[in-house]
Structure 1
Amino acid sequence: MVTMPRSARLAAWANAWLRSESSMDDVLTRVCGDDEPHDVAGLPGDATTSSLVTALSKLRDRGAGSFRVVLPVPGDPAGLGGPRQLTEAAIDAGEAVLAHGAGLALVPEIQAFGPPGDEGHLVTWRCYEAEIPPLGATLAEAEQQLASTLIDAGSSLAALDVASWRPEVATLLNDVRKSQIAEPLPRTYPPRAQMVAARSIRLLAVAGFALDDDGGAVSAAAAQSRRDVLAPLERAARHALVAACNSLDQ
């Protein structure tokens, strides 16, 4: 099953909760999924961990008016304004949630347990001080960039025959083409944000499948060609998902 990163889910559903358009039970269900109950560590004034319910309430009391997701990777720390400790932790995790108005951020620390095929996850959100930068690309800008990148990548993906060796890739690309995609965000978000988020998470999955495994590449040159095509698509999809989840602030 294709899902959004935990930080994207937390930002989106916490925003709906802040607007009284989603219950805390909905937030927990959507964010935690099959995980064990999430904890939050390092909140100012807390000597021990807090539940996610308590942490969100405390962040709201500290002035958080919205939550923003960031999905940084090495060389592309988009959405982060520092300080260094937060930037390094967020890049290492590949995700974080910024509490806009509270000057704090949450970064997930994830520990898997159990046998392969039946793994569970323990998730602790680590709180950091955060400098909140201005928003990046608008939803419209990110959507346009994603569409342009997908057009550029389309013929190359077909030539590289990426879908032939991973059935998941073919299915995901078919979903994107036919727009057969469920709404991944709370109903607080408009249809355009829903569509962009849904398309983005599937294209991120396509890029992830192909970049993580070169099994379909017959040579090192073919593997590099695949990476050259998919890296811009991964970046555009990642930025578009961020823009969709943060679009209520625009």
Structure 2
Amino acid sequence: MMGATLASRSLPTIGDMPHQELPACVRVSLWATAVLGGRLPAPDLPRRALPDIDECLGLVETVRVWADLGERTVLVALPRPGDLTGMPQGPAELAAHASRAEECVFVPGVGGALVPDLEVFGPVGDEGWLSRWTRYDAQPVATHRIEALDLGQTELALRQELAVLTEELGRAGAPPFGAVAERGAAGARAAAGGALLWGLPEGLPGRALRVLQLAGTVLSLADAGLGTATASVDASSVSRRSEVLRRLQTSASRALSDAANAAALHLAYRS
């Protein structure tokens, strides 16, 4: 399919693809860590981490370089414009690109980051998905904060935040997520049975997996809710709904990246 000419269309993100319950970089961080640990051949990384992508450029090559340099872990950050929580120090271009993509992966030991972009290619009716991964320099990152995480507290805090914000959504007087968002989140809810259904490596700690499932589902709902128009004629209700959904999106993103990074460290250093 790569022989087809890339189409000039509006630029999507990997999260716009159907059936993507988790951000691409969450899956890439875990499967790339498996590659660095010798549990997965590098050429198999795109197939396991991004099964719906037809072509993947720049990912495998960079992970191989990191492996040659002795790196053991690939971590993830899920920034938003104006919120660079979890990002490594690096050039302004890295922060800007990752904020637009709302995700990136990085290595804490040798330093370095990758940010994905998604393109649609091929003729109408036979389109494919191409992901391009841009490499940036970044500073090494100490992992002591991640190692000290209490995922039980992270899960409790997210559940409490979800309860509070869901109540606020109800008071806003606008549909919380909308029918389209609810249908879009059905796949995420159905994946609660285990790592396999979420496309993640086996052997993740139970608590990390539970937080990944919860945060991934909440993020899917929030993202879909923000992308769904409501029938409300009350502009203030719609504005309030969007504000609460963005808060929920931020809370879920932070919990998701914390759980993914704790899981990646477990994969990297388990016996």
Bucket of the pairwise TM-score, normalised by the shorter protein: 0.7 to 0.9
Q: Give the CA deviation at 1:244.
A: 1.3
Paired with 1:194 and 1:164, the residues of 2 have a C-alpha distance of: 25
CA contact (8 A) 2:62 2:135 kept: no
1:59-97: CA deviations, max 9, x gaps? Answer: 111232200011111111011222322112211221111
RMSD (CA atoms): 2.8
| Paired AA for residue 179 in structure 2 | R
Q: Give the CA deviation at 1:134.
A: 3.8
Q: Give the CA deviation at 1:116.
A: 7.3
Q: Mark the CA change 1:103 to 1:231 in structure 2 (over 3 Å): closer, same or farther.
A: same
Query: Structure 2: where are the runs of 5+ without partners?
Result: 1-18, 267-271
User: Does 2:51 align with 1:33?
Assistant: yes
| Paired AA for residue 162 in structure 1 | P
Query: Which structure is higher in strand share?
Result: 1
Match for residue 199 of structure 1 among 198, 214, 217: 214
- Name the SS of the counterpart of 2:79 in structure 1: coil
- Name the SS of the counterpart of 2:107 in structure 1: strand
Q: Mark the CA change 1:39 to 1:174 in structure 2 (over 3 Å): closer, same or farther.
A: closer
Paired with 1:104 and 1:174, the residues of 2 have a C-alpha distance of: 33
Question: Hey, what does 1:131 align to over in structure 2?
Answer: 139
Question: Hey, what does 1:47 align to over in structure 2?
Answer: none
With 179-188 and 189-198 compared, the bigger mean Cα shift is at: 179-188
User: Does 2:85 align with 1:63?
Assistant: no
1:146-192: CA deviations, max 9, x gaps? Answer: 1121111222334546368415426848975x984442331131111
| Paired AA for residue 68 in structure 2 | D
Q: Give the CA deviation at 1:193.
A: 1.2
User: Does 2:21 align with 1:13?
Assistant: no
CA contact (8 A) 2:169 2:244 kept: yes
User: Does 2:182 align with 1:169?
Assistant: yes
Query: Structure 1: where are the runs of 5+ without partners?
Result: 41-51
Q: Mark the CA change 1:201 to 1:30 in structure 2 (over 3 Å): closer, same or farther.
A: same
Paired with 1:115 and 1:38, the residues of 2 have a C-alpha distance of: 19
Paired with 1:175 and 1:28, the residues of 2 have a C-alpha distance of: 21
CA contact (8 A) 1:181 1:198 kept: no
Question: Hey, what does 2:157 align to over in structure 1?
Answer: 145
- Count, aligned residues: 238
Q: Give the CA deviation at 1:25.
A: 5.6
Q: Mark the CA change 1:132 to 1:73 in structure 2 (over 3 Å): closer, same or farther.
A: farther
| Paired AA for residue 82 in structure 1 | G
Q: Give the CA deviation at 1:11.
A: 0.5
| Paired AA for residue 155 in structure 2 | E
Question: Hey, what does 1:45 align to over in structure 2?
Answer: none
Question: Hey, what does 1:54 align to over in structure 2?
Answer: 61
CA contact (8 A) 1:111 1:121 kept: yes
User: Does 2:166 align with 1:154?
Assistant: yes
Q: Give the CA deviation at 1:53.
A: 3.3
Question: Hey, what does 1:227 align to over in structure 2?
Answer: 242
Q: Mark the CA change 1:171 to 1:249 in structure 2 (over 3 Å): closer, same or farther.
A: same
Q: Give the CA deviation at 1:54.
A: 3.5
> Percent same amino acid among aligned pairs?
29
With 1-10 and 133-142 compared, the bigger mean Cα shift is at: 133-142
Question: Hey, what does 1:48 align to over in structure 2?
Answer: none
| Paired AA for residue 169 in structure 1 | E
Q: Mark the CA change 1:19 to 1:188 in structure 2 (over 3 Å): closer, same or farther.
A: farther
User: Does 2:205 align with 1:190?
Assistant: yes
| Paired AA for residue 60 in structure 1 | A
1:114-150: CA deviations, max 9, x gaps? Answer: 5778642211111110023445562344323311211
CA contact (8 A) 1:17 1:24 kept: yes
Q: Mark the CA change 1:28 to 1:238 in structure 2 (over 3 Å): closer, same or farther.
A: same
User: Does 2:119 align with 1:104?
Assistant: no
CA contact (8 A) 2:32 2:45 kept: yes
Matches within 5 A, 1:88-99: 88-99=96-107
